[in-house]
Amino acid sequence: MEKVKRLYYNNKKFIHSSFISIICTCIRFTIYFLVLWITTGKYILANFISYIISFTILFYCNQKLFKSKPNTKKEEIKQLLSFVLFRVIGFVIDSMLLAIFIEILYFSNLISRILSSLITFIYNYKVNKIWNLKFRIQNSNI
């Protein structure tokens, strides 16, 4: 039992980040397939709308998780712009993967969505960790 506690403690941020990401991924999948159904197959539009909504939620959850809530409006805008920049890059990666999986490899939307989500999850986690750590370091020097 002690090993499990130590494993949890050593990976607490990753576990919590994964849990938040799973919730946001469920939201993203639901919105993606709903928009995909409404638009009769426009997967890039569905990806865009689902990305915007789920990562808006993720932004605020990550602030709490990584304790990176800004103190001033200027810091909040800077943090938001950085987050958006990294998310735009993530969106481009995700959309390119979707296009490759659907248009070139002829995978189903479900399989494509799962595969691209897994790959972009790794990118997003690493970026969040670095971005939030940088923000905390900058604010601790004030």
pLDDT at 142: 42
* Residues of the chain where predicted confidence (pLDDT) is lower than 50: 141-142
Q: What is the pLDDT of residue 136?
A: 53
Nearest to 93 by CA among 124, 139, 131: 124
Give residue limits of the domains in the chain. Answer: 2-140
The SS3 assignment for 39 reads: coil
User: What pLDDT sits at residue 68?
Assistant: 66
Q: What is the pLDDT of residue 131?
A: 66
Give pLDDT, residue 132.
59
Longest dimension (CA), the chain: 52
Q: How many CB atoms lie within 10 A of CB 106?
A: 8
pLDDT recorded at residue 35:
96
Query: Two tokens at 69?
Result: 């809530």
Q: What is the 3-state secondary structure (H, E, C) of 85-101?
A: HHHHHHHHHHHHHHHHH
CA 71 → CA 11, 78, 95, 113, 129, distances in Å?
27, 11, 34, 37, 19
32, HSE (Cβ side, Cα atoms, 13 Å):
23
